[in-house]
Amino acid sequence: MKRDNYLSWDEYFMAVALLSAQRSKDPNTQVGACVANEQNKIVGVGYNGFPWGCSDDEFPWERQGEFLQTKYPYVCHAELNAVLNSISTDLKNCRIYVGLFPCNECTKVIIQAGIKEIIYLSDKYRDTDQVRAAKIMLDKSPYITYRKLETNLKQLQISFIPPELF
């Protein structure tokens, strides 16, 4: 008989997004995103970080202070990277799984790429104008929907110890 405690597709793709977030060097918020197509194949992943050639050690990770001395003008969001890292520029009918609700800039990219659904985990910035603007666009556009991930999973453990050594 097959096991019954396997991950659903939604849980699996969100877990890939969360694993990708572990690559982020942002000391405050690590975000990952995973794009899956209609065949449930992963076509792109990404996490928040500075653009190519912009050193994680030289660019600022600060959240406050003079704008140009903070991370905000420089960091590429996880969703942008997932779309740009994808194997195709046409992501029609794909879904994007993301740890944190997309901002307005990423939402434009997501809509323009043809993605049909956003599945998110946290909406901790729901009271910001960026997320409000994102939702205004999403609520108007007939081509895309969004929903919070429904799961009973609290956490997922991954072990690098080979099972024979347990």
Ligand X SMILES: Nc1ccn([C@H]2C[C@H](O)[C@@H](COP(=O)(O)O)O2)c(=O)n1
* Residue 34 in marked binding region: no
Decide: is 103 part of the binding site for Zn ion (CB under 5 A).
Answer: yes
Residue 162 CB, nearest approach to ligand X (Å) = 34
Decide: is 102 part of the binding site for ligand X (CB under 6 A).
Answer: yes
Decide: is 148 part of the binding site for ligand X (CB under 6 A).
Answer: no
Q: What is the 3-state secondary structure (H, E, C) of the chain?
A: CCCCCCCCHHHHHHHHHHHHHCCCCCCCCCCEEEEECCCCCEEEEEECECCCCCCCCCCCCCCCCCHHHCCCCCCECHHHHHHHCCCCCCCCCCEEEEEECCCHHHHHHHHHCCCCEEEEEECCCCCCHHHHHHHHHHHHCCCCEEEECCCCCCCCCCCCCCHHHC
Contact 94, 43 (CB under 8 A): yes
Residue among 106, 111, 138, 144 that touches Zn ion (CB under 5 A)? 106
Decide: is 75 part of the binding site for ligand X (CB under 6 A).
Answer: yes
- Mask for 44-63, x = binds ligand X (CB under 6 A): ----x--------------x
Is 62 annotated in the active site?
A: no
* Residue 103 in marked binding region: yes
Stretch that binds ligand X, among 4-12, 69-77, 141-149, 155-163 (CB under 6 A): 69-77
Residues flagged as binding site: 77, 103, 106
Q: Which residues bind Zn ion (CB under 5 A)?
A: 77, 103, 106
Q: What amino acid positions are annotated as catalytic residues?
A: 79
